[in-house]
Amino acid sequence: MQDRLAIWDFVADQNSQAAIRLDQMFSNVASKLGDFPFVGKPGKISGTREWVPNENYRLVYEIADQTVWILTVVHTSREWPPV
């Protein structure tokens, strides 16, 4: 996921341990979504759902059949959806 790698690179430049913790959090969230796909609220884009696992990041995903597709990870300070 390109968004996740960009976040990793940005955070790791300043604090590698924080980047590791953040990446682990993303993995844990993805795992939880597999078990509880409706934990997030309906998204701002039709057909999506959003989960804010901490105050800084929003995961935007969709559910297709029994598969959860994480579409993007967005910093909460960024405009979402993009114009």
The arrangement of secondary structure in 2-75, i.e. its CATH architecture, is 2-Layer Sandwich (3.30)
Cα–Cα distances (Å) from 82 to 30, 59, 74, 79, in that order, read 23, 14, 10, 6
Question: Residue 78 is encoded by which pair of tokens?
Answer: 């960024």
Classify residue 63 by its DSSP letter: E
Domain ranges of the chain: 2-75
Tell me, what's the pLDDT at 28?
93
Is 51 in contact with 29 (CB distance < 8 Å)? yes
**Residue ranges of the chain with pLDDT lower than 50?**
none
Give the pLDDT of residue 68: 96
| Amino acid type, 60 | V
Instruction: Give pLDDT, residue 1.
Output: 59
pTM: 0.85
